[in-house]
Amino acid sequence: MTAAALSHSVAGSLSHSIRMGLALVWIDIKQGLRKHMAGNTWRARLLQSGGALFGLTFLAGLHLAAFSLVTYTWLSPSENKAGLMAGLSTSIWSFLLFVMISGGLVRALVVLHEQDDSNLLLSSPVSPRAVLAAKLFGNALQSCVVDGFIIVPYINVRVCTFGGHPNFLWGYPVWLALAIIVTCIDGLLSFGLIRWLGLRRARFYSQVVPFALIFGVTLLTGSLSVSMARMGFNVGQAQMPLAMQARFIELANTPLVWMARAAAGSPLYLISIFVTAIILSLITLRLTERAFVEGTQHLVENTTTAGPGNADGLFRSGVLLLEVRKNLRLIVRTPMIVLQCIAQIMTPIVVALVMGRDNVAMAVAFFMIFSVGVLAGMFTIAAGTVEECDDLLRMSPHGERCFRLGKMFSGCLWPLVGALVVGLGLALAGEQLQAAAVLLGGIPLGLASSLVGETFATPVKPGTRPKLLSDPIMMIPLLGMQITSGLVAGLVVFCAALSETFFLFSLLASYLMLIIGVGLAQLRKPLF
Amino acid sequence: MEYACEIIGLVKRFGPKTAVDQLSFQVPSGMLYGFLGVNGAGKTTTLRMISGLIRPDAGRVLVTGIDAVAEPQRAKQPLAYIPDDPVLYGKLNPMEHLEFVSALWGVDPVTARKRAQELLERLNLWDRRHEWIESYSRGMKQKIALASALIHEPKLILLDEPLTGLDASAARLVKDILLGFLKQGGSVILTTHILEVAERLAERIGIMSGGRLIAEGTMDQLRSRSGQAAGSLEDIFLQLINEARGQVLL
């Protein structure tokens, strides 16, 4: 046999395909690690160290929370303690399943349809099914890692507490099996979505649908959740209300208990979950291989290109106006960014709803001030990050400041208009102080946020998709905006509810943020 | 005659649009075949069908005599494809990348390392072998893509715009490497918009328009077909394309 023929037979074999599938997964992991561990500047190392420290602290906190939850449930007197604990397990595993399914759809779209190494892999003699299997398995591993924070603390606590229960170690393989099941479901969904809607819309809906689901579930669980106020350090206080116990026990009688029982090491359930994962993997590979090989994305994308809309009319004269209008178009035409921005302002919705039980105006004012603070900054960042022609702007004779102001105006325009409308609405409803809180507290906060956003926005390279939230450099100002906006909004609306004097003093916080915003801008990229 | 690639009555439709329509041509072993056409003519779709990335709706693709539709994995073994914008693993260094690519084609690791070193030295990249590919210039990335194509010693290389982004010396180096590959009996199908390159390197040239092959042959055959005895490839190409468009309009 010649060397070429030997190489040929090796490359076409099943064992070679499996080996290359594993190699592909390893390459992806290696690249992912290098991506996050890259950087030899002090700033990059500081960010990495800070991130690692934050991650460890966060994980420790989650372990503590899991321990509290398990202890609270365990110590609650109940006639059906086994059912109660099974219900608790079921709720946590169901939550994991839900989060995995929602997040996995976007991952499936990216991994299966937007990875550019497909040309190389599929033009090689390795079986396309092996490539697809490797991609799906890599996706499942990623799903495990990303959503692991939900289940790892719970598994560890169940294994180690109350005398130790090593059978709960089965939770780890169940976690992987569940990730494979979810990846297959999301993989099938992604192929279906692309075939029906095209890649552009599929990408959009893959963000919208999970967001709507998570929002809905957050509201639902928020209304049903354990009341922290009733929990205490005394054993006597650690009692779950009977109504809630009944809900958990009821949950343990639904089919969802399947995951909890498997994770506790029940052989029948374990076999069923692994068999499901295997069967679903085979079905997915069989049904999606052809579409994967043929690159459905390219075909559908080419036949559903967006046509020009009304906004493609002539620009009016005036560079600033031109810049503002262009930025507004850029933001609106990047629906992923709009969606991410809207998702961020939903963070405190539960706080607003709790406030709304007693005082609707206060809840509306709080939500509006928070939204202005976050959205003005995020839209400004979006206007900066989606900019692909930064060099062109710098070369123009109009000066950089004009374009920077343009980005800020376009970023804070709609949030400020929203604040104005809500403020006037509250005033008409007779809530003068809360109206003043929105107008006098929210608007300067929005301007401050916009200033900070413009200062930190970094244009993407031409041809690169803007990644608003995945860039660690952008995460810090974004988190800062959220925390600051939450604190300022809370302070201003509570003080407005107390008295006029308190309210006037609280406004200082908002103006202080504006001063800090100007200061940051002056330090990094002087505006004045 | 032994053919590296035979295309027989190839058809590919995307919805209502026929991207490739009854395409037939042969590429003998050891030949560089220039594949020309305006944007959207169907060149890349054809290359993707030959490489097995797209399944044709009708027709046959034979790579070194192996039917690429019936036996795709066997047909891919003697083949390498470099798309117009090759994507490399940015966080790997060139040695790691080349070792992975050679493993895809079943080359044993020791041979792969030896060949990777030879190629990187030849392409003047050996001194930068420890750097990640993402830090490379576009031209250097093109060289790595070429090395990836050559590492498993294919018999047929499909090149889609291989000289994009290369400086004069790098372009010359790539041309020399391709000529060396041809001398060793390899075959190349090359698409390019730089007609001088096709005129100088290609033994046979095929011109596509609207998914159909409107002319094919050596430079002399194309000259006589267009009636321009002393015409450059550019003149011939423009005339044939305009004629084909005129026919479509009529």
- In this prediction, residue A309 carries a pLDDT of 35
* A22 in reach of chain B (CB within 8 A): no
Nearest-Cα distance to chain A for B85, in Å, is 10
Nearest by CB: B14 against A7, A124, A299: A299
Rounded-to-integer distance, Cα A487 and Cα A370, Å? 9
8 A C-beta contact, residue B220 and residue B208:
no
Rounded-to-integer distance, Cα A23 and Cα B109, Å? 13
CB neighbours of residue A64 within 10 Å: 12
Instruction: State whether A123 and B76 contact (CB < 8 Å).
Output: yes
CA angle at residue A242 from A241 to A244, to 5 degrees?
70
Residues 344-363 of A with CB under 8 A from B: none
Rounded-to-integer distance, Cα B40 and Cα B48, Å? 14
Nearest by CB: B104 against A20, A290, A303: A20
E-strand spans in B17-155? 17-28, 32-37, 58-63, 66-67, 79-82
CA distances from A56 to A30, A299, A471 (A): 22, 44, 20
Rounded-to-integer distance, Cα A253 and Cα A247, Å? 10
8 A C-beta contact, residue B92 and residue A26:
no
Provide, as residue numbers in chain A, all residues whose Cβ is less than 8 Å from the Cβ of B103.
19-20, 23
- In this prediction, residue A21 carries a pLDDT of 78
For tokens 């963070």, the residue is A347
What would the mean pLDDT of B150-172 be, rounded to a whole number? 84
Q: Which pTM does this prediction carry?
A: 0.69
- In this prediction, residue A461 carries a pLDDT of 54
Task: Provide the sign of the torsion angle of the four alpha carbons A216, A219, A223, A227, taken in this order.
Answer: positive
What would the mean pLDDT of B216-244 be, rounded to a whole number? 82
- The pLDDT-based confidence of B132 (bands split at 50, 70, 90) is confident
| Domains of chain B, earliest start first | 1-78+155-167+187-250 (3.40.50.300)
Nearest by CB: A12 against B51, B74, B81: B74
Give the residue from chain B lying closest to A293, CA to CA: B53
Nearest-Cα distance to chain A for B221, in Å, is 33
* Domain parsing of chain A, residue ranges: 13-27+57-302, 311-524
Phi-psi map region of B106: left, alpha, beta (phi>0 left; psi -120 to 50 alpha): left
Instruction: State whether B74 and A122 contact (CB < 8 Å).
Output: no
Rounded-to-integer distance, Cα A136 and Cα B70, Å? 26
- In this prediction, residue A132 carries a pLDDT of 83
- In this prediction, residue A297 carries a pLDDT of 40
Alpha helices in A198-256 (DSSP H): 199-224, 242-251
Tell me which of B49 and A216 has the higher pLDDT: B49
- In this prediction, residue A272 carries a pLDDT of 92
DSSP code per residue over B148-188: HHHTT--SEEEEESTTTT--HHHHHHHHHHHHHHHHTT-EE
- Residues with Cβ within 8 Å of A465's Cβ and at least 6 positions away in sequence, in order, are none
- In this prediction, residue A334 carries a pLDDT of 67
ipTM score of complex: 0.81
Instruction: State whether B81 and A119 contact (CB < 8 Å).
Output: yes
Contacts of A59-65 with CB under 8 Å at 24 or more apart are: A59/A149, A59/A152, A59/A153, A62/A149, A62/A152, A62/A153, A63/A153, A63/A156, A63/A157, A65/A153
Task: Provide the sign of the torsion angle of the four alpha carbons A493, A499, A504, A509, taken in this order.
Answer: negative
Q: What is the pLDDT along chain A (528 residues), one digit of tens a residue?
A: 344 444 455 555 777 777 887 888 888 787 777 776 666 667 667 767 777 787 788 888 888 888 888 887 887 777 778 888 888 888 888 888 887 887 777 777 777 776 667 778 888 888 888 888 888 888 888 888 878 888 888 998 888 887 778 888 898 999 999 999 988 988 888 888 777 777 667 767 766 776 676 666 666 655 555 544 454 445 555 566 777 777 778 777 888 888 888 888 889 999 999 999 999 999 988 888 877 776 644 443 344 433 333 333 333 345 666 667 777 776 766 666 677 777 777 767 766 766 666 678 888 899 899 989 988 888 888 777 655 555 566 665 656 677 778 888 888 888 999 999 999 999 998 888 889 999 998 999 999 988 888 877 665 555 555 454 445 455 666 777 888 888 888 888 888 888 888 888 888 888 888 888 888 777 777 766
Q: How many A-B residue pairs are in contact by the CB < 8 A criterion? A: 91
Give the residue from chain B lying closest to A18, CA to CA: B104
Nearest-Cα distance to chain B for A15, in Å, is 11
* B83 in reach of chain A (CB within 8 A): yes
Alpha helices in A317-428 (DSSP H): 319-332, 335-345, 349-356, 360-385, 390-395, 400-428
CA distances from B199 to B4, B219, B230, B235 (A): 21, 7, 13, 12
- Residues with Cβ within 8 Å of A427's Cβ and at least 6 positions away in sequence, in order, are A435
8 A C-beta contact, residue A356 and residue A350:
no
CA angle at residue B89 from B88 to B95, to 5 degrees?
95
What's the token pair of residue A76? 């609650």
- The pLDDT-based confidence of B229 (bands split at 50, 70, 90) is confident
Instruction: State whether A7 and B81 contact (CB < 8 Å).
Output: no
Task: Provide the sign of the torsion angle of the four alpha carbons A142, A147, A149, A151, taken in this order.
Answer: negative
Instruction: State whether A11 and B90 contact (CB < 8 Å).
Output: no
Instruction: State whether A295 and B105 contact (CB < 8 Å).
Output: no
